[in-house]
Protein backbone atom coordinates (compact mmCIF):
# COMPACT_ATOMS: atom_id res chain seq x y z
CA UNK A 1 0.00 0.00 0.00
CA UNK A 2 2.75 2.48 0.98
CA UNK A 3 4.79 1.41 -2.04
CA UNK A 4 1.82 2.20 -4.30
CA UNK A 5 1.49 5.62 -2.67
CA UNK A 6 5.19 6.24 -3.34
CA UNK A 7 4.79 5.16 -6.98
CA UNK A 8 1.93 7.64 -7.37
CA UNK A 9 4.02 10.40 -5.81
CA UNK A 10 6.92 9.63 -8.15
CA UNK A 11 4.56 9.97 -11.12
CA UNK A 12 3.87 13.54 -9.99
CA UNK A 13 7.49 14.72 -9.80
CA UNK A 14 9.07 16.67 -12.70
CA UNK A 15 9.74 14.69 -15.86
CA UNK A 16 13.49 15.32 -15.63
CA UNK A 17 13.68 13.45 -12.32
CA UNK A 18 11.48 10.66 -13.65
CA UNK A 19 13.75 10.34 -16.69
CA UNK A 20 16.79 10.01 -14.42
CA UNK A 21 15.18 7.05 -12.68
CA UNK A 22 15.09 5.15 -15.99
CA UNK A 23 18.90 4.95 -15.94
CA UNK A 24 19.01 3.89 -12.26
CA UNK A 25 21.14 0.76 -12.84
CA UNK A 26 23.86 2.68 -14.67
CA UNK A 27 24.32 5.25 -11.89
CA UNK A 28 27.12 5.15 -9.34
CA UNK A 29 26.24 4.71 -5.67
CA UNK A 30 26.83 8.41 -5.03
CA UNK A 31 24.59 9.38 -7.96
CA UNK A 32 21.90 6.97 -6.75
CA UNK A 33 21.99 8.46 -3.25
CA UNK A 34 21.69 12.01 -4.65
CA UNK A 35 18.89 11.05 -7.02
CA UNK A 36 17.00 9.19 -4.29
CA UNK A 37 17.27 12.24 -2.06
CA UNK A 38 16.05 14.55 -4.85
CA UNK A 39 13.12 12.28 -5.74
CA UNK A 40 11.96 11.83 -2.16
CA UNK A 41 12.38 15.54 -1.45
CA UNK A 42 10.30 16.50 -4.47
CA UNK A 43 7.69 13.80 -3.87
CA UNK A 44 7.11 14.76 -0.22
CA UNK A 45 7.47 18.53 -0.11
CA UNK A 46 4.38 20.41 1.00
CA UNK A 47 2.57 22.32 -1.71
CA UNK A 48 1.40 25.91 -1.19
CA UNK A 49 -2.17 24.93 -0.22
CA UNK A 50 -0.89 22.57 2.46
CA UNK A 51 1.53 25.21 3.77
CA UNK A 52 -1.31 27.75 4.03
CA UNK A 53 -3.50 25.20 5.85
CA UNK A 54 -0.66 24.36 8.25
CA UNK A 55 -0.03 28.08 8.82
CA UNK A 56 -3.68 28.77 9.65
CA UNK A 57 -3.88 25.70 11.89
CA UNK A 58 -0.65 26.70 13.66
CA UNK A 59 -1.93 30.21 14.33
CA UNK A 60 -5.31 28.98 15.58
CA UNK A 61 -3.68 26.39 17.80
CA UNK A 62 -1.26 28.98 19.18
CA UNK A 63 -4.10 31.32 20.04
CA UNK A 64 -5.69 28.56 22.15
CA UNK A 65 -2.75 27.03 23.99
CA UNK A 66 0.87 27.69 24.87
CA UNK A 67 3.05 24.63 24.24
CA UNK A 68 6.44 26.02 25.23
CA UNK A 69 7.71 28.39 27.91
CA UNK A 70 8.48 31.89 26.68
CA UNK A 71 12.22 31.22 26.76
CA UNK A 72 11.86 27.88 24.90
CA UNK A 73 9.54 29.48 22.38
CA UNK A 74 12.08 32.21 21.71
CA UNK A 75 15.01 29.79 21.49
CA UNK A 76 13.18 27.49 19.09
CA UNK A 77 12.07 30.39 16.91
CA UNK A 78 15.62 31.76 16.88
CA UNK A 79 16.98 28.40 15.81
CA UNK A 80 14.38 28.10 13.04
CA UNK A 81 14.92 31.70 11.85
CA UNK A 82 18.66 31.17 11.88
CA UNK A 83 18.47 27.78 10.21
CA UNK A 84 16.37 29.30 7.43
CA UNK A 85 18.81 32.18 7.12
CA UNK A 86 21.68 29.71 6.97
CA UNK A 87 19.92 27.67 4.29
CA UNK A 88 19.30 30.71 2.10
CA UNK A 89 22.89 31.87 2.66
CA UNK A 90 24.16 28.54 1.30
CA UNK A 91 21.76 28.77 -1.66
CA UNK A 92 23.03 32.31 -2.33
CA UNK A 93 26.64 31.08 -2.19
CA UNK A 94 25.80 28.25 -4.59
CA UNK A 95 24.35 30.76 -7.06
CA UNK A 96 27.22 33.20 -6.52
CA UNK A 97 30.11 30.72 -6.79
CA UNK A 98 28.96 28.47 -9.62
CA UNK A 99 25.87 26.77 -10.94
CA UNK A 100 27.29 23.30 -10.28
CA UNK A 101 28.55 23.96 -6.74
CA UNK A 102 27.17 21.39 -4.30
CA UNK A 103 27.69 22.35 -0.70
CA UNK A 104 28.63 19.45 1.51
CA UNK A 105 25.95 18.69 4.12
CA UNK A 106 28.49 19.58 6.80
CA UNK A 107 28.94 23.05 5.28
CA UNK A 108 25.18 23.54 5.15
CA UNK A 109 24.81 22.36 8.76
CA UNK A 110 27.55 24.66 10.03
CA UNK A 111 26.10 27.71 8.28
CA UNK A 112 22.60 26.86 9.55
CA UNK A 113 23.91 26.32 13.08
CA UNK A 114 25.77 29.62 13.04
CA UNK A 115 22.66 31.36 11.70
CA UNK A 116 20.60 29.74 14.46
CA UNK A 117 23.06 30.92 17.09
CA UNK A 118 23.01 34.51 15.77
CA UNK A 119 19.21 34.65 15.49
CA UNK A 120 18.67 33.14 18.94
CA UNK A 121 21.21 35.52 20.46
CA UNK A 122 19.48 38.44 18.76
CA UNK A 123 16.10 37.44 20.16
CA UNK A 124 17.39 36.68 23.66
CA UNK A 125 20.18 39.18 24.23
CA UNK A 126 19.27 42.44 22.46
CA UNK A 127 16.73 44.91 23.77
CA UNK A 128 14.83 44.92 20.48
CA UNK A 129 14.84 41.12 20.35
CA UNK A 130 13.69 40.75 23.95
CA UNK A 131 10.94 43.32 23.49
CA UNK A 132 9.72 41.63 20.30
CA UNK A 133 9.84 38.16 21.84
CA UNK A 134 8.00 39.29 24.96
CA UNK A 135 5.19 40.93 22.99
CA UNK A 136 4.80 38.32 20.28
CA UNK A 137 4.92 34.91 21.94
CA UNK A 138 1.80 33.73 20.09
CA UNK A 139 3.36 34.61 16.73
CA UNK A 140 6.64 32.93 17.64
CA UNK A 141 4.81 29.78 18.72
CA UNK A 142 2.67 29.80 15.55
CA UNK A 143 5.88 30.12 13.52
CA UNK A 144 7.46 27.23 15.44
CA UNK A 145 4.43 24.99 14.89
CA UNK A 146 4.34 25.95 11.21
CA UNK A 147 7.99 25.01 10.68
CA UNK A 148 7.51 21.73 12.52
CA UNK A 149 4.39 20.88 10.51
CA UNK A 150 5.40 22.14 7.07
CA UNK A 151 9.06 21.12 7.12
CA UNK A 152 9.57 18.67 9.98
CA UNK A 153 6.80 16.23 9.14
CA UNK A 154 7.89 15.87 5.48
CA UNK A 155 11.34 14.90 6.73
CA UNK A 156 9.74 12.09 8.74
CA UNK A 157 7.73 11.02 5.66
CA UNK A 158 10.82 11.03 3.44
CA UNK A 159 12.72 8.95 6.00
CA UNK A 160 9.82 6.49 6.23
CA UNK A 161 9.60 6.20 2.44
CA UNK A 162 13.34 5.72 1.99
CA UNK A 163 13.04 1.96 2.51
CA UNK A 164 10.07 1.78 0.14
CA UNK A 165 12.11 3.60 -2.49
CA UNK A 166 14.87 1.01 -2.08
CA UNK A 167 12.29 -1.76 -2.67
CA UNK A 168 11.22 -0.09 -5.93
CA UNK A 169 14.74 0.60 -7.21
CA UNK A 170 17.08 -2.24 -6.22
62-114 pLDDT tens trace: 989 888 888 888 888 888 888 887 778 777 777 777 666 666 777 777 877 78
pLDDT at 98: 66
pLDDT tier at 16 (50, 70, 90 boundaries)?
confident
pLDDT at 106: 77
**Quick one: CA torsion of 69, 78, 161, 37, rounded to 10 degrees?**
-170
pLDDT at 107: 75
- Could you list the residue range(s) of the whole structural domain that residue 63 is in? 2-168
pLDDT at 46: 85
What is the pLDDT of the chain when averaged over all its residues? 83
Q: What percent of the chain has pLDDT over 90?
A: 8
pTM > 0.85: yes or no? no
Q: Could you give the angle at which helices 70-97 and 127-135 cross, rounded to 10 degrees?
A: 120
pLDDT at 1: 61
Helices (H), the chain: 2-11, 15-22, 29-43, 48-64, 70-97, 105-125, 127-135, 137-147, 153-168
Tell me what the mean pLDDT of segment 149-159 comes to. Answer: 88
For the chain, the straight-line distance linking the first and the last C-alpha, in angstroms and rounded, comes to 18
Look at residue 53 and tell me whether its pLDDT is greater than 90: yes
Question: Which one-letter DSSP state was computed for residue 67?
Answer: -
Tell me what the mean pLDDT of segment 13-24 comes to. Answer: 85
Number of domains in the chain: 1
Look at residue 52 and tell me whether its pLDDT is greater than 90: yes
Name the maximum alpha-carbon separation found in the chain.
Answer: 58
pLDDT at 102: 66
Tell me what the mean pLDDT of segment 21-36 comes to. Answer: 87
Amino acid sequence: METLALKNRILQIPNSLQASLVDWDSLSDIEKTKLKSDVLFDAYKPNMKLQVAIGIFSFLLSSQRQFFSEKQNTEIAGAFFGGGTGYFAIEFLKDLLAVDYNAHPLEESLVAAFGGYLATNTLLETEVGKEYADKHQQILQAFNLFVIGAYGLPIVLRAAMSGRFDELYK
